[in-house]
């Protein structure tokens, strides 16, 4: 599978998983429905900026649009699948909260 084909498969899967129509995605990306349709049919490939806007609209990291694994609800809901930066931020927040709790004992 080419990178473009992988991107298309993942884009459609994430969009459908979130129950977002092409029109809604276009609105969220400040784009046109026709352009989103052209991306999903492989007639064109988005710029890096547009990939970032699409990922943001889908509430995922850009790299997830290129992942060569099946997509499931856990890709968006499971903290274990977060990007390392997000994972580290959650760990720091949890450690801070735990420290405050232990300080009260």
pLDDT digit string (tens) for 27-62? 999 999 999 999 999 999 999 999 999 999 999 999
Global confidence as pTM: 0.67
Q: What is the dihedral of CA 64, 68, 69, 73, to 10 degrees?
A: 20
- Between CA 55 and CA 34 the distance in angstroms is 18
Q: State residue 78's pLDDT score.
A: 47
- Between CA 11 and CA 64 the distance in angstroms is 9
First-residue to last-residue Cα distance in the chain:
56
């Amino acid at each position: 599978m080419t990178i473009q084909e992988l991107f298309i498969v993942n884009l459609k899967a994430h969009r459908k998983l979130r129950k977002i129509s092409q029109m809604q995605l276009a609105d969220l990306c400040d784009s046109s429905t026709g352009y989103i349709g052209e991306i999903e049919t492989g007639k064109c490939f988005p710029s890096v900026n547009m990939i970032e806007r699409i990922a943001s609209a889908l509430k995922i990291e850009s790299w997830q649009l290129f992942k060569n694994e099946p997509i499931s609800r856990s890709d968006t809901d499971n903290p274990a699948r977060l990007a390392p930066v997000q994972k580290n931020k959650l760990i720091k927040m949890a450690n801070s909260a735990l420290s405050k709790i232990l300080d009260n004992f």
